[in-house]
Structure 1
Amino acid sequence: MDTKSKEEENTFNQKRLKVSSGGQMDMDLNSENSSNGFSTQINLEKLHKMAAELILLGKFLLKLLNAALVFVTDLLARILGSKLVRGHFHLMLSALVLFGPVLSLWVPKYSIFANSNNYLYRKFLKSTLGWTCIFSGSFILLLSISARHPRSLLLRHLSRIGVVGLLWWVCQRLLTLLEDASGTCYEPLTPARDIQGSSVQLLLHEDRTKLSCLKANMVWRGYEVSQDVLIVCLCCLLLVEEMSVFGPHLAQGKMSPGAPLRFIFLLCVVLLSLSMFLLLCLLAHFPKFPAQHLGGALGYLGWRVLYQGWYRLKPSWGCPALPGEGLFTTTDTHKPQSFKKPQ
C-alpha cells in the first residue's frame, strides 16, 4: 500500500508540473505576442510621423519653389515688356550680327565651341525653329486659357506660329535654288593628274548641286546666305514679340497666372538666351562675310514684314492679329495705347 501510494503521488506531482509548465509556456507565448503587437504598433506610428514630416517638407519646398518662380517670372516679364526691350531689341540684334564677327580676333581657337561638330551646332541649331514653335505655341495656348480667350481668337494667335514655319520653308527652298543657280562645283586635282604643271587646281562639275557637291567632298564656290543666322535671328525676334505681352497681362491683376504658364514663360526665356548665345558663337567662331550679314538681314526683314506690317492690318484682311490682341480690353478700345508696338 505504501509503495502504490508513493507511485500515485509521484504521477500526480508529474502531471501537476506538466500543467504548471504548460501554463507558464502559454503565458510566455501570450506575453511575446503582446510585445510583438506593441512593437508593430510603435513602428506604424513612427512611419505615420515620418510620412507626415515628409509631406510637410514637400509642401514647404513647393511653396519656396513657387515663390521663386513668381519672383523670377515677374522680373523677366517686366524686362521683356518694357518699351526699351520691345522697341530696341531688333537694333541690339542687328548690332550683334554686324559686329559679332569681330570677336573672332579674341576668342580662343581651341574652345569647345570652336568645333563645328559640337552637339549644340549639330542638334540644337537644326531644331531651333521646332523648339521655338513648341514653346511659343504652348505659351500662347496657356495665356489664352488664362485670359479666357474665345476659341476663334486662340486659333488666330496660334496661326502666327504656322505663318513663321511656312515662311521658313519658303525661304529654304528659294535660297537653295538661288545658291544652286549662282554657284559652281569644283573637284580638287591631285599632283599626279596635274601633269603639265599648269596653275589650274580645280576641275569644273556643272551638273552638281551644292548639296551633292559637298557630299562628294568637293569645293563649292558661289554666293551664299547663312540660313543658320537667318533662322536664329527670326526665332529670337519671334520669342521677344510673343513674350512681351506677359508683363501687361500680369499688370492687369484680374487673375493670377498659374504655375504652368509661368514655367512655360521661363522656358521661353531660357530658349531665347540659348539662341542668343548660339548666334554669338556662330559669329565669333565661324565668321562668314557677307553670308551671315545677309542671313541676319533676311531674318530682320521677315520679322518686319510680319509683326510690323501684316499683323497690324485689320482682321477683315485675314490678319492673324498681334500678340495680345483681345487680351487687353478697356471701355475705349480693344488695345490700350501703352501696349501698341513701336513703329
Structure 2
Amino acid sequence: LFMNTCLVIRLLAWVLGCSLVRRHFHLMLSGLVLFGPLLSFWVSRYSIFANGNHYLYRKFLRSTWGWTCILTGSFVALLTFSARRSVSLTLRHLSRIGLAGLLWWGCRRLLTLLEDAAGACYEPLAPAQDAHSAPAPGQPLLLLHENQSKASCLKANMMWRGYEVSQETLVLCLCCLLLVEELSVFGCHLAQERRLHRSPSSPLGVLFLLCVVLLVIWLVLLLCLLAYFPAWPSQQLGGALGYLGWRGLYQGWYRLTPSQGSPGLPGEALFTEKQQDEMITRET
C-alpha cells in the first residue's frame, strides 16, 4: 500500500509539474467557465447536486478560501523548510498565500459595495394587498425597500435584484489556479530528494495528496455551480476576475525580484540551478 501511494504521489507530481498542465490549465478553466452553463440543458433537476443545501456546498463552498489557505499554506511551509531549513525563506514563500488572501478579501469587499450600490431590495406583497391591482402576467408585485444592503435584505427573507458578480466562481477559479501553481514544484522536490539519496517526507506527501483532492473538489464544485445553478454573465465575470487576480500575482508581481517587494515564484531558491533553469524553461 505504501509503495502504491508513493507511485500515485510521483505520478500526480509529474502531471501537475509538466509544461502542458502549467501553461494551459488556465485555458481549460476558462473553457469550463464559459461553456459549463450549457450542461444545464442535460443535467437532472432532481439530482442531489441540484439542492443548494447539499453537504458539499455547505461544508466546502462557503469556506473555500479557508480550506485552500490551511492546506496550501501548510504544504508550502513544510516544502520550503524541508528544502532549505530557513525560517525567513519559509515566511517569504508563505507570503504568497497571504497576498492572494488579501486580494480575495479586497475583491469581496469591493464587489459587496458595488452590489449594494447597484441593486435594490424588494418584498412580495401579501395576497390581500394586491387584490385591487392588476399585475402583469407572470410578474409578482413587489414593494421596494430602499437603503437596504444585500445581506440585510436576504436575511429578512426578501428579494434582491441588481447586477452581481459571482463571488463563488471567483474564489473557486482563483483557488484552482493557485493550487496548480503551488503544487507544480513538488516534482522538482522529489527529484532533488532522490538525487541526495533521501526519502521524501511522509507528512509532505500526505499534504500534497490532500491538496490534490482539494483541487478536484473545487473543480467538481465549480462544474456543479455552472451546470445546476447557471447565472450568466455573473459567473463568467467572477471567473474573469479570478483569472485576472492569478495573472496579476503569479504572472506579474511574483516574477519580480525580491528587492522589488516580490516573494518570488513557487520553488524559487529551493532547488539547484539546473532545476531552476528547467522550471523557467517550462514556464516560458
TM-score by length of 1: 0.77
CA deviation string 1:12-35 (max 9, x = no partner): xxxxxxxxxxxxxxxxxxxxxxxx
Aligned partners of 1:109, 1:341: CA distance in 2, in Å?
A: 43
1:182 is matched with: 118
Shift of the alpha carbon at 1:338?
Answer: 3.9
**Is 1:243 the equivalent of 2:186?**
no
Pairing 1:114-153 to 2, within 5 Å after superposition = 114-153=50-89
**Is 1:265 the equivalent of 2:208?**
yes
The answer to which structure, 1 or 2, has the higher relative contact order (CA under 8 A, 6+ apart) is 2
Q: Which moved more, 1:67-76 or 1:136-145?
A: 136-145
Shift of the alpha carbon at 1:149?
Answer: 4.2
Larger Rg: 1
How many residues end up aligned between the 2 structures?
Answer: 277
Aligned partners of 2:174 and 2:243 also within 8 Å: yes
Aligned partners of 1:209, 1:320: CA distance in 2, in Å?
A: 37
Shift of the alpha carbon at 1:330?
Answer: 2.2
Aligned partners of 1:149 and 1:326 also within 8 Å: no
Shift of the alpha carbon at 1:233?
Answer: 0.8
TM-score by length of 2: 0.93
1:287 is matched with: 230
1:256 is matched with: 199
1:218 is matched with: 158
Pairing 1:45-124 to 2, within 5 Å after superposition = 65-124=1-60
Q: Please tell me the residue identity of whatever aligns with 2:119.
A: G
CA deviation string 1:178-223 (max 9, x = no partner): 0000001111123321244233711111121111111122111100
Aligned partners of 2:37 and 2:230 also within 8 Å: yes
Aligned partners of 1:66 and 1:259 also within 8 Å: no
Aligned partners of 1:102, 1:269: CA distance in 2, in Å?
A: 27
Shift of the alpha carbon at 1:114?
Answer: 0.5
SS across alignment from 1:122: helix
**Is 1:205 the equivalent of 2:145?**
yes
* Identity percentage of aligned residues: 66
Aligned partners of 2:100, 2:8: CA distance in 1, in Å?
A: 29
SS across alignment from 2:157: coil
Aligned partners of 1:300, 1:142: CA distance in 2, in Å?
A: 27
Q: Structure 1, unaligned stretches of length 5 or more?
A: 1-64
Aligned partners of 2:174 and 2:246 also within 8 Å: yes
Aligned partners of 1:77 and 1:244 also within 8 Å: yes
Aligned partners of 1:342, 1:88: CA distance in 2, in Å?
A: 10
Q: Please tell me the residue identity of whatever aligns with 2:144.
A: L
SS across alignment from 1:250: helix
